[in-house]
Amino acid sequence: MSPKTENRILATPIVLFLLVMLGFPAVLDILYSFSEVSFENLRSPTLNGGKNFIKVVNDPEFWAASWFSLKFGVATALSECILGLVLAVYLAPIIRKNNWMIAVLIMPMIIAPAMMGLMYRLVLHEFVGSLPHYLYLWLGDSPAFLSRENVFLTVFTIETLQWTPFAFLLIYMAYEAIPSEMREAASVDGTRPWRMFWFIEVPQMAPTLAVAFFIRFIDGFRVFDNIFVLTGAGAGGSTTSLSIYIYLSFFRSGDIGKALAASVILFCVAFVILFFAGRLLRRDRA
Amino acid sequence: MKNKYKDLPRWIVFAIAAFVMNFPVISTLSTALKTNAEISRDPGLWVHAPTLNNFAVVLQVTERLNIFSYLHNSLVASLIGSILPILVCFPMAYAVARRGYGTDVIFPTVVNLRAMPLIIFAIPLYMMYQTVGLLDTRLGLGLILAVVNLPLALLLLINAINDVPYELDEAARMDGARIFTILVKVVFPICLPTLATVFIFSFITAWNEFLFGLMLTTSEAVPMTVGASFFFSSGGGGGQWGVAAAVIIVASLPPVVLGVLMYKHISRSMTAGAVKG
C-alpha cells in the first residue's frame, strides 16, 4: 500500500463523519435559507430567492440580537481575562504550594452552564433566594435582578463568575511557564515588581491572553444555555443573543426560512473572522 | 513572625474568589438540604435542620419527573459523544502528526469547529434527523455531541502521537508490520493516558451540553440538563424548591466528581487545546 493510499484511509473515518454530520446539514442550511419553508412543507420547500435574507436584514430584532451578542462577548471576555490575570498572578505563590486550590477555583466551569443558570434562578429568587435574603437583611433592599434595566448586568456577572476560572487557568499555566532565568535576570538588574509585571511577564503571556480572550469572546458571543434557562428571551427580549434569536425564530415562530437565513449569515461572519484570525496567528508564528 | 503571615492577604483573596464564584453551588446545595418550611422561613445559607428528604423525592419515579430516564439518556449519549471522537480522530491524528497529512483542510476545519456557533447546525440537523428517524433518540444526540468534541480530541491526540518516539514506528515497520498494526499495537497503547483524558473531558462536555438536547429531543431521549430545566420551569417551584435544588445537584454531580478527580489532567489538556487552537 502506498503512503498516499494509507493517508486517505486514515482520514476516511473523520471525513465521512464530518460530511454526514456537518456537510449535509450545511447544504440543507443553504438550500432552505433560499426557500419558502415551514413545518408543514418541510420536505418540499419552494425557492423564493433571497426573501428570507431580506426579512432577516430588515428585522430590528436581528440587529438587536447581534448587538447584544457582540456587547456580551466583548464585555465578558474582557472582564474574565482581567479577573483571571489578577487572580493567577496574585495567587500564584500560594497555588504553587497548594495545587488543590486549582480544583476549587475551576469548579464553576465544570458545571453545565444550563445548571448554573438554574442555580441562579434559585439564588436570585425574590422569596426563596439566598442573595435577596441577605441583601434585605443587610441593606434593607434588593434589586430586581431580572428586570429590564438590570438584566444585562445580571447575565454579564453570571457569565463572568462562571468563566473567569477558564481565563485564570490558562493564564496561570502561562505564568508558571515563564522561564525563571528571565525573572532572576530582571531582579538582578533591580527591576521593580510592577515593571517586571508589565514589561516582562505580560509580554511573555501575551499570546495566551490573546487566546483566552478569543475563546471567551467566541463563547460569550454564541451564548445560549444560561441566559435561556434564566430569562428565556425574557425581560422584553433584552437578553436575546443571536443563538436565542435563531432558536426562537425556528421553534416559537416556526419561521424556518428566517431562522436558517440568520444562521447562514452567522456562519459567514464566523467563517470570515476565523479565517482572518487563523492568518493572523500563522503570521505571528512565522 | 512577619514571614508566617505574609501570604495571609493572598489566602483571603483566594477564599473570597472561591466563595463568590462557587456561591450558586453552595446556595443550591443548602436549599436542597432544607425542608420546605425552612426554605420559606429562612433562605440563608445555614441549614438548621438538614434533611435528605428532597433527594428521596427526586429518586422516586413519577409522571412529572423520572430522573433515572434522564440520567440514562445523558449517560448513553455522553458515552457515544466521548468514544466516537476518539475512534474517528485517532487515525487522522496519526496522519497529521507523522505525515503532515490534512494540515491544509481537514485539520483547520475540525479545529475551527470549536469556534462555530452550534445553533447553525442544529436546525438542519433537526430536519435531517426527522427524515432518518434519529430525532429524539440517544444515538442522534450522541452523534452530534461527538461532533462537538472533535476539535479537542483531534488536538490532544496529535500532541500525544507527537510524543511517541518515531523509532518505535520505524522498528515495527522494519519488522514488516502494516500501518494498522502499528496504529493498534504500538501507538494506541502508548497514547492510553491521553485517550483517558480525552474521554473524560469529552464526557463532561457532552454531559453538560444543553442546546442540542433541547432541540433534538422531546420525550424519549431528553438528557439530564434539559430534564432539570423542564422540571424547574414546569412549576418545579410550586413550593417544591428543595426538590428542584436537589434535581440540579444530581444533574451536576457526575461532571463535578469526574472534574475533581481529574482536575490536573483537565487543566493540562485545556491549556494544550487552547494554546494550539
pLDDT digits (tens, 9 = 90+) for B41-98: 888 888 888 889 899 988 888 777 789 999 999 999 999 999 999 999 999 999 999 8
Determine which of A18, A39, A130 to mutate to test the interface with B (most B C-beta atoms within 10 Å).
Answer: A130
CB contact under 8 A, A115 and B102: no
Q: Residue B58 falls within a domain, yes or no?
A: no
- pLDDT at residue B178 in the model: 84
Q: Residue A77 falls within a domain, yes or no?
A: yes
Determine which of A66, A69, A86, A115 to mutate to test the interface with B (most B C-beta atoms within 10 Å).
Answer: A115
CB contact under 8 A, A103 and B251: no
Determine which of B5, B13, B21 to mutate to test the interface with A (most A C-beta atoms within 10 Å).
Answer: B21
- pLDDT at residue A188 in the model: 83
- Inter-chain contacts counted by CB atoms under 8 A, chains A and B: 285
- pLDDT at residue B277 in the model: 38
Q: Residue A242 falls within a domain, yes or no?
A: yes
Q: Residue B57 falls within a domain, yes or no?
A: no
Indicate whether B234 and B109 sit together in one domain.
Answer: yes
Indicate whether B74 and B30 sit together in one domain.
Answer: no
CB contact under 8 A, B225 and A112: yes
> Measured between CA atoms, how close is B7 to chain A, in angstroms?
7
- pLDDT at residue A223 in the model: 93
- pLDDT at residue B1 in the model: 46
- pLDDT at residue B194 in the model: 87
Indicate whether B83 and B204 sit together in one domain.
Answer: yes
Indicate whether B10 and B128 sit together in one domain.
Answer: no
Q: Which chain B residue has the Cα nearest residue A14?
A: B88
Indicate whether B42 and B84 sit together in one domain.
Answer: no
Q: Please report the ipTM that was assigned to this predicted complex.
A: 0.90
> Measured between CA atoms, how close is A279 to chain B, in angstroms?
11
Residues 215-254 of B with CB under 8 A from A: 215, 225-226, 228-229, 232-233, 241, 244-245, 248, 251-252
A22-31 contact pairs (CB < 8 A, 24+):
A22/B113, A22/B121, A22/B147, A24/B124, A24/B128, A25/B121, A25/B124, A25/B125, A25/B128, A26/A267, A26/B121, A26/B124, A28/B124, A28/B127, A28/B128, A29/A260, A29/A263, A29/A264, A29/A267, A29/B120, A29/B121, A29/B123, A29/B124, A30/A264
Output the tens digit of pLDDT for each of chain B's 277 residues. 456 688 899 999 999 999 999 999 999 999 999 988 888 888 888 888 888 989 998 888 877 778 999 999 999 999 999 999 999 999 999 999 988 898 888 998 898 888 888 888 888 899 899 889 999 999 999 999 999 999 999 999 998 999 888 888 888 888 888 888 888 888 999 899 889 889 999 999 999 999 999 999 998 999 999 999 888 876 544 668 899 999 999 999 999 999 888 877 766 666 665 544 3
- Can you list the residues of chain A whose pLDDT is less than 50? none
SS3 A35: strand
Q: Give the CATH number, domain containing residue A190.
A: 1.10.3720.10
> Measured between CA atoms, how close is B77 to chain A, in angstroms?
16
- pLDDT at residue B161 in the model: 92
Indicate whether B238 and B156 sit together in one domain.
Answer: yes
- pLDDT at residue B276 in the model: 45
Indicate whether B165 and B259 sit together in one domain.
Answer: yes
Burial of A237 (0-12, 13-18, 19+ CB in 10 A): middle
Indicate whether B136 and B191 sit together in one domain.
Answer: yes
Instruction: Determine contact: B17 vs chain A, CB below 8 A.
Output: yes
CB contact under 8 A, A94 and B110: no
Q: Residue A172 falls within a domain, yes or no?
A: yes
Q: How many domains does chain A have?
A: 1
- pLDDT at residue B66 in the model: 86
Indicate whether B137 and B21 sit together in one domain.
Answer: no
Which of B18, B144, B241 minimises the CB distance to A105? B18
Q: Residue B56 falls within a domain, yes or no?
A: no
Q: Give the CATH number, domain containing residue B131.
A: 1.10.3720.10
Instruction: Give residues with Cβ within 8 angstroms of A281, minimum separation 6.
Output: none
Q: Which chain B residue has the Cα nearest residue A31?
A: B124
Indicate whether B12 and B79 sit together in one domain.
Answer: no
Structural domain that includes position B10: 3-51
pLDDT in tens, A38-70: 776 666 677 777 888 988 888 899 999 999 999
- pLDDT at residue B145 in the model: 96
Residues 37-76 of A with CB under 8 A from B: 42-43
Indicate whether B46 and B183 sit together in one domain.
Answer: no
Instruction: Determine contact: A128 vs chain B, CB below 8 A.
Output: yes
What residues of A are in contact with residue B126 (Cβ under 8 Å)? Answer: 250
